[in-house]
Amino acid sequence: MSRKKWALLLLLVLLGFGYVKLFYKTWNKTRVPASADAVLVLDVKRVTNTLIWQFLSTPSKWKTGNLFSKRSKDTSWRDMFKLPDYVFAFHAKNQSLNNWYTVLSMDSRKGFEAGLAKFAFRRINEQEYANKEAGLYLYVHDDNEVLLARAPAADSLSVRQVAHELFTEKKFMAGSEIRKAIDAKSHLSLYITPGSALRETGIFTLNFDKESLRIKGDILPAQPYLYAEENFLYAPESLSSAGLVQPPRELFERMGTETKERISKALGLNADSFFVASNRSYSIDLQSIRERQDTAITYTYDDDFNPVENKVLNTVREPAFSFFANGAHTDSIYQYLLRNQKLENGAGGMVFLPMPLVRSYCRQNKPGNLTIESFNYQPRPASASVKALLFIRLSVAAIPPDLLRYLPDAVSDRCRNIEEFRLTVNNTDNRSLHVSGMLTKKKNALLLFDF
């Protein structure tokens, strides 16, 4: 055989190997139980290929990037499990919303046991291991398949129920349903089964590139919530803006008592009394986090027991914000606040007591409009608008850097290249809800996320 033929054969072999390694994907139909009501699908090869392309197309990262760095000799998750082409994480019906599961294959028994020791898993019996601090639970089946659960050890019964369905009863979600999430052709997709909340299957997708990360999805509620979108006005210069149309009574009731109690605790108000059905919408404008100098005065005594005044100059950071509630009977909210001693008469007006971060005032400006505003808020014209049921905008780049240190390091590091986050929910023909969100990178950043 001539050299040209050998070269051609070698090229074909390399192309075939590259195709199988980078693009050819398979998936296992026995990874999701029939009881699953939500499934997250991670396309591992799509994510890998995108990261490789970002690395190759950004030469300035070639020296500092660690995409192709050598694997550490220290034990990691990769020593415990084989990474499949698709990772399926699912939630089982009638279980806690915090419980999520995935099934993975062991890479080797030796590596698995080394990982158990490294990550401090406690052996419960021959099949089960738990890490209480991390909230992880492992159920081993046939020395090969492992059900990895994000669930507390106290909820071991739920884990065993899922394991029994998968490994003993062998009841799996129909492949045609899982295919709907795979066919979305996205880096990450979320499949939600129809039921009491949704009339049809809901699919959400997440995709990313150098410039942005995008979320899209459409859901058809079981009950058509016929309510109009609001035209929310906002100032693009503000740190954050948000707007929400008053949720329909049916949707608000679906939140359940526990969720509403959490909202009430966070606001320092009764959620049912504040978010009344006659309201039309709510919006908030967070202009910035402002600094002011505050003098603290303390007294000590000298040797002769004479008082000595000490002054300490402190720098205080406070949010400058304004909250608006619009509706036919916002005066009922004002009266609720008065009755429950949430307001106190002050020099600048009625002080809103539930706000602990900054001195704020509550005003009933005119019929149908209630405002809660911080003393340092500076009203300015809104030059932009968006029509939606829900709207959230956050200028991540405008967050003071020293405030980011309160976030976990992994989160604060990822925020340094992000310019803005947006999320909108729109009403489509009074039947379905369209959800869209986007993270965009700073203009001077090379990548949205460094690697």
Q: Confirm whether 411 is domain-assigned.
A: no
pLDDT at 129 exceeding the cut of 60: yes
Query: Rounded to an integer, what distance in angstroms lies between the CA atom of residue 380 and that of residue 120?
Result: 55
Look up the pTM and report it.
Answer: 0.81
Last-in-domain residue among 340, 357, 388: 388
List the single range of 98-102, 308-312, 367-371, 419-423 with lowest mean pLDDT: 308-312
Tens digits of residue pLDDT in 385-398? 999 999 999 999 99
Query: Looking at residue 377, what is its pLDDT?
Result: 94
E strands of 55-121, at which residues? 86-92, 100-105
The total number of structural domains in the chain stands at 2
> Are 326 and 249 members of one domain?
yes
Q: Residues 100, 89: contact at Cβ < 8 Å?
A: yes
What is the extent of the structural domain holding 160? 26-57+77-184
Query: Rounded to an integer, what distance in angstroms lies between the CA atom of residue 54 and that of residue 50?
Result: 6
Q: Confirm whether 126 is domain-assigned.
A: yes
> Are 270 and 377 members of one domain?
yes
Residue among 23, 173, 47 nearest 101 (CA) = 173
Q: Considering the chain, what percentage of its residues have pLDDT values greater than 90?
A: 42
Tens digits of residue pLDDT in 64-112? 545 455 555 677 888 899 999 999 999 999 898 889 999 999 988 999 9
> Are 252 and 175 members of one domain?
no
Q: Token pair for residue 353?
A: 């007591």
pLDDT at 14 exceeding the cut of 70: no
Burial of 444 (0-12, 13-18, 19+ CB in 10 A): exposed
Last-in-domain residue among 356, 372, 388: 388
Q: Confirm whether 256 is domain-assigned.
A: yes
Tens digits of residue pLDDT in 139-162? 999 878 999 999 988 889 999 999
> Are 254 and 142 members of one domain?
no
> Are 180 and 318 members of one domain?
no
Query: Looking at residue 226, what is its pLDDT?
Result: 62
> Are 303 and 172 members of one domain?
no
What DSSP character marks residue 146?
E
Residue among 84, 85, 138 nearest 112 (CA) = 138
Angle at 185 between CA 180 and CA 190, to 5 degrees: 55
Average pLDDT, the chain: 85
Q: Confirm whether 362 is domain-assigned.
A: yes
Q: Residues 396, 240: contact at Cβ < 8 Å?
A: no
Last-in-domain residue among 388, 418, 446: 388
